[in-house]
Chain A
Amino acid sequence: MSKQEQIQVVLAGLNAAVPEIKGSLLASLDGMPIAYALKVGTVDPARIAAMTATALSVGKRTSESLGAGTLQEVHFAGTEGRIFVYTVAGRAALTVVTPMDTNVGLIGLEARDMVNKLLAII
């Protein structure tokens, strides 16, 4: 199985573990999509990749500047949903899109688990 297929399997596994997840995407830190499993068909993966790279970069800088240490993750909460962005060993970014009423604790556990799996692949 190619690397991309392996990553795809991990992302699909995450979406299956928490069915309300609308989509997940792995991007390079310069904002290029690597692999994705998106149910929200209207969103352009290239756009999500670029935006999460920007968010992570600003988060990293903010975290360091305000004494919060090395950035681990960034959360967005909108009126309709939540977006979680996790760093994958400072080499990539895992983005998870969920509805507003999601189980935040479970997402955190599952996503961390997936980050470890992704680390083994990339």
Chain B
Amino acid sequence: MKHSAVTPLKLIISGPVGAGKTTFVSTLSEDPVVNSDEQTTEEIGKTHTTVALDFGRFVLQGRPLHLFGTPGQSRFDFMWEILSEGALGLLLLVAGDRPADFPQALSILRFITSRNPMPFIIAVTRQDSKGAWGPEKIAGYFAVPTTRVIGIDARNAQSSLGAVTCLLSLIEGSTSGNSRNPFHSTSHSTSNSNVKEST
């Protein structure tokens, strides 16, 4: 029996609670998504939350893509670590209308990229919400180039695909040289301790 020789590209989808990670993976996946929603016992503005992972896959221009969505809460930071192993890129979802969650998004970004340096794109969701921050303002907050930030609707396949395409071209561009990841840190934290704010 012959299997496809094409190795799937592993991408990690992370971000704070309610950013739209589960929706994003469900929107793009061609198979039924393997998810891990459980009923919440906290006030987080929704009834269910991811406690392990969301796994979805699809084929883009002949290349199989595997999407791994993480939980958003810091108590699940061990899953951020596990799921980012071997990932080629990170898509950080941030709800544009929840500025209170931006520090958490920044923590996740630092946590993942300091352990496993990889190219990342920030996708800003909930753009249709009144008063939502746009991509440019978000780029300013995260101190990253505006080319790294894209506004999306995680419920829309075309829009979500745009974020993946954007990340893929960044990955292709970075494989030849060193990653210009501004959060790349040489001090490697090995413990499971909480996110350290590096300055």
Asked if A30 contacts B49 (CB within 8 A), the reply is yes
Whether B38 sits at the interface, judged by CB under 8 Å, is: yes
Q: Which chain B residues border A57 with CB–CB below 8 Å? A: 36, 38, 51-52
By the criterion of a CB under 8 Å from any partner CB, how many residues of chain A are at the interface? 15
- B94 → A minimal CB distance (Å): 22
State in angstroms the CA–CA spacing of A53 and B40 once bound together: 12
Q: Measured between alpha carbons, how far is A53 from B38 in the docked complex, in Å?
A: 9
Among A42-50, A73-81, A106-114, the stretch that binds chain B is: A42-50
A29 to B38, CA, bound (A): 6
When the two chains form their complex, are residues A49 and B52 in contact, meaning their CB atoms are under 8 A apart?
A: no
Instruction: Given A54-B52, A58-B52, check contact A31 B36 (CB 8 Å).
Output: no
Report B27-42 CB contacts with A as 1/0, cut-off 8 Å.
0000000101011111
> Are A49 and B36 also in contact (CB < 8 A) when A54-B52, A57-B51, A58-B52 are?
no
Tell me which residues across on chain B come within 8 A of A51, comparing CB atoms: 78
> B169 at the A/B interface (Cβ < 8 Å)?
no
User: A47-B192, A51-B78, A54-B36 are contacts. A32–B41 as well, Cβ < 8 Å?
Assistant: yes
